[in-house]
Amino acid sequence: MIGSTAVSLGVLLATFMGGMCLGSLLFPRLVSARYRALRVYALIELGIGVLGFLVLRLMPFAGGVYTAWSGYGLRGFVLRGAVAAACLLAPALLMGATLPALARTVDETPGGVAALGFFYAANIAGAVFGCLVAGFYLLRAFDVATATYVAMAVNAAVAAIALGLRGAGDSLALMTEPGVGESPAPYGVYVTIALSGFCALAAEALWTRLLGLLFGASVYALSIIVAVFLIGLGIGSAIGSLLGRTLPHPRQALGWCQWLAAGAIAWTAYSLTASLPYWPIDPSISSNIVFTFQLDLARALWALLPPTLLWGASFPLALAAATAKGQDIARLMAGVYAANTLGAIAGALSASLLFIAWIGSQHAQQVLIALSTVAGLVLLLPKAPSLGSRAALAVAAILLAALCVHSVPPVSTVLIAHGRYSASWAGKGDILYAGEGLNSSVAVSSFPNGVRTFHVAGKTQASSAPRDMRLQRMLGHLTTLTAAHPRLVLVIGCGAGITAGAVSLDPRVERETIVEIEPLVPQAAAAYFGGPNFDVLHNAKVRVRIDDGRHYLLTTEERFDGITVDPLDPWVKGAANLYTREFLEAMRQHLNPGGVVTMYIQLFETNLDAVKSAVATFFDVFPNATIWGNPYEGKGHDLVLLGQVEPLRIDLDQMEQRFGYRSGGASQIPQSLAEVGMNSPEDLFATYAGRRSDLTGWLQGAALNRDRNLRMEYLAGLGLNRDDAAAIYDGMLAHRRFPADLFTGAEGRVDSVRMAMQRER
């Protein structure tokens, strides 16, 4: 609704976690301890379920308001925050109140308070289960609505259980006598647990980006990463609860925990950047995706478990360190939880919006090591018995931090470029450029055969290889040549700029808008692909907008004569947003009369069901659409879908004029197509591969890709190790019939297209 940029996701995260923090702080101040704790908890769970249902039903209305009023700059940012708050703040407030409500079922001794860590651990265990069930089953097999209904059922079941347990531990004997705790106002504990939360969530943001490169950023891989992070926190919390009940000095234990975490951050940083990318692993060896998931789980545990165990243990140790007699346990839980959550919000936003793009992952991890060392000193220094021991402790901390900081290597440029296949491609080419951007990592590589490759998020997105150049030129030229009057053209996804360059060559194009989510992409494209893209990024009629393409189209009032879309691979989380029925309908509504939409569909690293879903969804919005193939060495490789409102008619004589063959050689379109083996209009249009009437049987049972299910990315994510392109393309071509009503032209020209199609086959 509000886009997929790092800014949009940061707004969502801050709203959700901020609501939980506020809920934990408000609960003990607004709800008296005289109320039965489990009954209050049951009402909170029921409230979360009801609000979840309301959010599901009202979100489309909120989306309509947002798209109608949104803009850029401060206005757009404020409106994103307002929409996120309207949808998420109320349920997040109640979620944040759950742990303080349960806290009132325990006594106020350090051992009893440390037992709250078991509540925290159980909560995290549920989060692991929910993450995996949603990511691997509910959202894959059903949709957001079904997942929400299941969550509501769980809320109701938990409320029923809480009401059934009213007689057990449901009263709180609130002590009014002042106690002799370690400190009635343990500010050092709050500072330390806030820094711990900062480091944990900042590290999660950094490591999710790096592991997304290593595993491939599919919905399944990201579910595994989040689950492993939570597993470590949950196990660590259980261990910390046990230690908090037995250790005589939980504050010192909390301080030492932060120092150990500094070393653990260095371990993970080394593993992710200098070790795991070079393990002798080729994911494509097995086409069974289950084995890949097992491998990803093992590697994630290897890298993430040490620091997450320590961060998980920090929370119950902080509770035990902060307790004092005579206090409301709910206030204690709320204070520690709020400090940890505020730190987590600051860490996640700092890492995702500032650190990665500003100083890079290497230096960001070094900063976290330093902060974790400081967090330990906050608690350990005041307890040192003498000035000399404090000085020795400070020196030890500096040496520890220096050693750990020095051990953090730079991010592997091979990992940025080749991602999952780093070990296979290491040393086979030169990395000309590598950068970590706000939203994605970008690289450009060169090989001895002269081919340059453009990489985004660890995946090849464009190259100067013949098969890729052919596809990119087809996307651009089909968009302008088939549109009635292509004055205004929108290009979603810059990549190497080759498609945008092809669009710019048409003399009828007056203005071309390129929308790209990552600022580094157009910079790298201009620097390293100026020849293949005809220096499009310096063309006077071209403007570049940095935004999520979907968000841009939904919030602009402009209409276009041509729209071409070249997204990331469909298995990449978020890419399916550009293939949904709702987004296709939005593109249709933004077309001027006679306008066209072209869209790239890959046949490799996917499966038949995902391809059918993409094609069926496109035909559902554009019934008159056609498919154009880009085979490689006689086998299927990828496709271009071309949609328009009116039935498509291609006058081959007119196309010769549009190509520029009759303009005295002034047009660059013939040169552009000749470079990819197309020397006439007949060569281009002989790539025809089918239309809806041809493929009715082939598409039988295909699932439509919609906003509420994102079916395509879940289907494609199960086939990213496969290469069934040839079989998929052959199966589709078996249904193709020559479209006699599609082409017109002088005598013999239509027959020449027919014969060229037969040669292509």
pLDDT tens-place string over residues 160-199: 999 888 654 454 433 333 333 444 457 899 999 999 999 9
Q: What is the mean pLDDT of residues 490-516?
A: 96
Confidence of residue 14 (pLDDT cuts 50, 70, 90): confident
Tokens 């809320």 belong to 155
pLDDT at position 178 is 37
Question: Backbone dihedral region of 393: left (phi > 0), alpha (psi from -120 to 50 degrees) or beta?
Answer: alpha
For the chain, domains (ranges, CATH) are: 6-172+184-406 (1.20.1250), 466-760 (3.40.50.150)
List, for residues 579-592, the tens digit of each pLDDT value.
999 999 999 999 99
The closest alpha carbon to 454, from 538, 395, 540, 529, belongs to 529
Question: What is the per-residue pLDDT across 98-133, written as a single tens digit (0 to 9) for each?
Answer: 988 888 887 766 666 667 778 888 889 999 999 999
Band of residue 233 on the pLDDT scale cut at 50, 70, 90: very high
Q: Which of 759, 760, 678, 689 is nearest to 502 (CA)?
A: 678
Residue with tokens 């100026």, as numbered in its chain: 530
Q: How many residues does the chain have?
A: 761
Q: Is the confidence at residue 718, as pLDDT, over 70?
A: yes
Is 60 exceeded by the pLDDT of residue 455?
A: yes
Helix (H), strand (E), coil (C) string for 677-694: CCCCHHHHHCCEEEECCC
393 CB-contact burial (10 Å; exposed 0-12 / middle 13-18 / buried 19+) = middle
**pLDDT for position 236:** 94
Average pLDDT, the chain: 90
H helices present in 247-288, as ranges: 250-270
- Distance (Å, whole) CA 10 – CA 369: 23
pLDDT at 658: 86
- Predicted TM-score (pTM) of the model is 0.91
The sign of the dihedral angle between the CA atoms of 61, 67, 69, 75 is positive
pLDDT value at position 498?
97
At a CB cut-off of 8 Å and minimum separation 6, what does 517 contact? 4, 5, 439, 440, 546, 547, 548, 549
pLDDT (average), residues 603-608: 92
How would residue 358 be classed by pLDDT, with cut points 50, 70 and 90? very high
Structure tokens at 246: 């037995």
Torsion sign over Cα 613, 616, 622, 625 = positive
pLDDT tens digit sequence for 398-451 = 999 999 999 999 999 999 999 999 999 988 989 999 999 999 999 999 999 999
Q: Which amino acid is at 234?
A: G
Under a CB-based contact definition with an 8 Å cutoff, are residues 454 and 529 in contact?
Answer: yes
What are residue 29's phi and psi, to 5 degrees? Answer: -90, -25
pLDDT score at 384: 73
The pLDDT value given to residue 73: 64
The average pLDDT across 337-352 equals 94
Mean pLDDT of 717-738: 92
